[in-house]
Structure 1
Amino acid sequence: MRRLAALAAAVVLGATGLVVATAPAPAEAHGAEVFPGSRQYFCWLDGTSAGGDIVPNNPACADAVAASGKSPLYNWFGNLDSNGAGRTVGYVPDGRICDGGGNGPYDFEPYNAPRTDWPTTHLTAGETYEFQHNNWAQHPGRFDVYVTTEGFDPTAELGWDDLELIDSVVNPPDTGGPGDLNYYYWDVTLPADRTGRHIVFTHWVRSDSNENFYSCSDVVFDGGNGEVTGLGGDGPDPSPTPTADPVCPDEAPGTPDPAMASAVKATSAHVMWAPSRSGCVTGYDVLDAADGEVLASTDGSPMVDLTGLQPETEYAVTVRARNDNTGEVSAETAVLTFTTLADDVDPGPTPTPTPTAEPAGACEVDYRASHWGGGNAGYTASVTVTNTSDAPVTSWVLQFEYPGGQRVDVPGWSAALTQSGTTVTATHPGWSSTIAAGQSATFGFNGATTGSGHPEPTSFTLNGATCA
């Protein structure tokens, strides 16, 4: 029986800033396992705050950040080796499998730590699940999936003798284009003899270069169906035994973090949200923001595919958590809006419309960037634009001026970018064309500098209106 109870939760890029720490220029491609969630992905999800900073709640994630800083989590999709070339035993040493031997641009070494309090996905041995691997950049290649052998000691370092290759797939399908939270997906049947705590190791071997990516995902075979524990400070997971009795029957469910939409097509959309961080939650509902109709429900998984949608239609939805033991529901999240495509053919980058002369309303911009000098001078920027007016801004376009000779490298992520002279234009992505009143949109990109610094841009305008 195919199970789709997967966690690909994400902090909403439209509502939180992505603060990029000083780091080397990112490599050409990126990606990490998001179901079952990898250590770097879950720690990013666990720690990202409303202001964009990373402050982990999970103790294993907190210790990893204390050891190697926040840059690896700002670049959670960059656990890589540019010269990996598919090599395993004899190249990647025991104890360093989770970070591929530490040959990448970011320090993921602490994410090898053998401990039992990493965020954990609960699974059932012998079942088939849809595995999901983020495609921050798309490339052809092979995914090899390993699971630790029965009797594995999670408090000992991970070695190649502990791993069994259980699945390999070449060029699986994906939910959408790169630079976002889309993902490759394929079915994996897990071994039937596993019990207790284990590690799933996923090795992405590109076929168009020697670049490889590495993901260690902590799982426990306890009859679960994709539920996740260890996020939001709920502490170590001692490999619990499932029980029919509710463990928190009287606790009101906490409100989940706001949702985001990805893989938006003509008649469907993938909606994801970060799990509730308090109370007893047995499931979630996605509601029509206009009339409160329940569009979809889940049994604990903070993601769902909305189907049967109308092409070229704007939708507004909210999410609430449920405690089915008491019948209580949480407050609803902020409204998420997205617009379906005309058809299911990928239209490519959205053309840059001409900004209207009529001001779109009040707006504020938060621009943050890291800069590194020397012979390979460059920067990584994150821009959050907030609609502070009382009306939605549709088909949004943000423009700004670079005063220091900076050059934008395209494509970026979560917006289509162009540059003409000193003027940079960022156009909304196809899946998020509207910024609701009081809401935000965030996008990012890399670029090159003259090496003498990175002066902040000036003259931000949103659809022609000047922003603070």
Structure 2
Amino acid sequence: MRRLAASLATAVLAAVGAVAVVGQPAAAHGAEVFPGSRQYLCWEDAQTATGQLDPANPACADALAESGPNAYYNWFGNLDSNGAGRTEGYIPDGTICSGGDRGPYDFSAFNAPRTDWPTTHLTAGATYEFQHNNWAEHPGRFDVYVTKEGFDPTEPLGWADLELVGSVTDPPDTGGPGGDNYYYWDVTLPADRTGRHVVFTHWVRSDSTENFYSCSDVVFDGGDGEVTGIGDDAGTAEPPAACPDEAPGAPGDVTAHDVRATQAHVMWGVSQSGCVTGYDVLDAATGDVLAATDGSPMVDLTGLDPGSTYEVTVRSRNDHTGAVSDPTAPASFTTTTTTTTADNAAAAGACTATRTGASACS
């Protein structure tokens, strides 16, 4: 068996933020990191010293232009809350890599049939340790598909192109949720594959209907896990210098989702200008900081009071200078009065209160 380590870069840890909560559907993020999925490797390729996105790979650059930065900063959020394990007949051909475009973020550009996506080089018939980031831990099944021999990567990916080559239920992981930990299991790849192919990984949660989707571009050329098409290999220049004196641009509109009795998933638009190293979620009335992230445009607020109305805004930060942007317009949400299992699970997690009545798990 070829055991290949796929480590998430330090930049990923910074960008996904300091806040995560166990036990909430909204936080159940993850994506294939070996072989690297399109959204993950494009995110890696796009990193710069300023925190802005500048992919060198042409497919990644086009995906950024088409789908926008949220799919990058939320590379682990390619999901359908109502997927329920459904495949052919539910997810249309040509939209398999994005799971049918039913998620909270726009991953549609990652369906593009082209031959210049970041690529992992593999050997047909070999056994590899597949790795899937576990930004949140949940029980479930991973189904791995590989395109059939004769697949044309310049044509849209359809279900008739795919062959299920392995499934695993509740595989082990390298550690708790968040950061660079991942689920891992062995997959023996078909021995008859040659040339360029796509590996499709479908994470089917067993504790909810939420599903996750990853397309990984591979070439069967006798390789041993090498990745080409990102970073220096894609022709990128040296990373630009940090922008310590540039004012942070304002974030986009803030919204609240998956509001429950004691928690809410808050998201906002990524700042499109200036030097932004992170974001603060504020109590609109007092200006108190309820939660902070190191680049992620979302956070899960926990420890809220049932049946209560909250009003929040978001501002961008430049931690080099301490400068902050003007806050967004406020968003209001009201928690429900009924406590769910997910509320109880979040309450049992490791949380640090930032103000009375609201906290964020880290």
Task: Give yes or no for TM over 0.5.
Answer: yes
* Aligned residue number for residue 156 of structure 2: 157
Larger Rg: 1
Structure 1 residues 167, 456: CA separation in 2 closer, same or farther (over 3 Å shift)?
Answer: closer
For 1:135 and 1:74, how far apart are their aligned partners in 2?
16
* Aligned residue number for residue 213 of structure 2: 214
For 2:106 and 2:311, how far apart are their aligned partners in 1?
24
Structure 1 residues 456, 402: CA separation in 2 closer, same or farther (over 3 Å shift)?
Answer: farther
For 2:191 and 2:16, how far apart are their aligned partners in 1?
40
User: Is it true that 1:404 corresponds to 2:277 in the alignment?
Assistant: no
* Aligned residue number for residue 453 of structure 1: 313
SS at match of 2:59: helix
| Matching residue's letter, 2:75 | W
Structure 1 residues 38, 406: CA separation in 2 closer, same or farther (over 3 Å shift)?
Answer: farther
Q: CA deviation at 1:53?
A: 1.1
| Matching of residues 291-302 of structure 1 within 5 Å | none
Do the aligned partners of 1:7 and 1:226 also contact (CA within 8 Å) in 2? no
SS at match of 1:73: helix
* Aligned residue number for residue 44 of structure 1: 43
Do the aligned partners of 1:17 and 1:50 also contact (CA within 8 Å) in 2? no
For 2:209 and 2:172, how far apart are their aligned partners in 1?
21
Deviation digits for residues 244-267 of structure 1, max 9, x if unmatched? xxxxxxxxxxxxxxxxxxxxxxxx
Q: Unpaired runs of 5+ in structure 1?
A: 20-24, 237-276, 280-363, 386-399, 408-421, 427-440, 461-468
| Matching of residues 252-271 of structure 1 within 5 Å | none
| Matching of residues 318-467 of structure 1 within 5 Å | 370=251, 372-373=253-254, 378-379=266-267, 402=282, 404-405=284-285, 422=288, 442=294, 446=299, 450-451=310-311, 453-454=313-314
* Aligned residue number for residue 4 of structure 1: 3
| Matching residue's letter, 2:314 | H
For 2:255 and 2:77, how far apart are their aligned partners in 1?
22
For 2:55 and 2:286, how far apart are their aligned partners in 1?
33
User: For the aligned residues, what is the CA RMSD?
Assistant: 3.7
* Aligned residue number for residue 135 of structure 1: 134
For 2:11 and 2:312, how far apart are their aligned partners in 1?
34
Deviation digits for residues 51-103 of structure 1, max 9, x if unmatched? 11111100000111111111111100000100100001110111111011100
For 1:17 and 1:375, how far apart are their aligned partners in 2?
20
Q: CA deviation at 1:179?
A: 1.9
SS at match of 2:66: helix
User: Is it true that 1:145 corresponds to 2:144 in the alignment?
Assistant: yes
SS at match of 1:185: strand
For 1:163 and 1:18, how far apart are their aligned partners in 2?
31
**Structure ranking higher in helix proportion:** 2
Q: CA deviation at 1:164?
A: 0.5
Structure 1 residues 447, 145: CA separation in 2 closer, same or farther (over 3 Å shift)?
Answer: closer
For 2:148 and 2:116, how far apart are their aligned partners in 1?
20
Q: CA deviation at 1:443?
A: 7.8
Q: CA deviation at 1:371?
A: 5.7
Q: CA deviation at 1:423?
A: 6.6
| Matching of residues 221-300 of structure 1 within 5 Å | 221-232=220-231, 234-235=233-234
Do the aligned partners of 2:28 and 2:138 also contact (CA within 8 Å) in 1? yes
Q: CA deviation at 1:177?
A: 1.0
Q: CA deviation at 1:446?
A: 1.2
* Aligned residue number for residue 419 of structure 1: none
* Aligned residue number for residue 52 of structure 2: 53
Calculate the TM-score normalised by the size of structure 1: 0.54
* Aligned residue number for residue 117 of structure 1: 116
Do the aligned partners of 2:113 and 2:157 also contact (CA within 8 Å) in 1? yes
**Structure ranking higher in strand proportion:** 1
Do the aligned partners of 1:6 and 1:36 also contact (CA within 8 Å) in 2? no
For 1:168 and 1:142, how far apart are their aligned partners in 2?
7
Larger RCO (CA within 8 A; separation ≥ 6): 2
SS at match of 1:98: helix
State percent identity of aligned pairs.
62
For 1:44 and 1:78, how far apart are their aligned partners in 2?
12
Structure 1 residues 50, 138: CA separation in 2 closer, same or farther (over 3 Å shift)?
Answer: same
Structure 1 residues 406, 98: CA separation in 2 closer, same or farther (over 3 Å shift)?
Answer: farther
Do the aligned partners of 2:54 and 2:61 also contact (CA within 8 Å) in 1? yes
Aligned length: 286
Q: CA deviation at 1:27?
A: 2.6
| Matching residue's letter, 2:121 | H
For 1:106 and 1:401, how far apart are their aligned partners in 2?
20
Structure 1 residues 455, 217: CA separation in 2 closer, same or farther (over 3 Å shift)?
Answer: closer
| Matching residue's letter, 1:138 | E
| Matching residue's letter, 1:30 | H
For 1:456 and 1:78, how far apart are their aligned partners in 2?
21
Q: CA deviation at 1:8?
A: 3.4
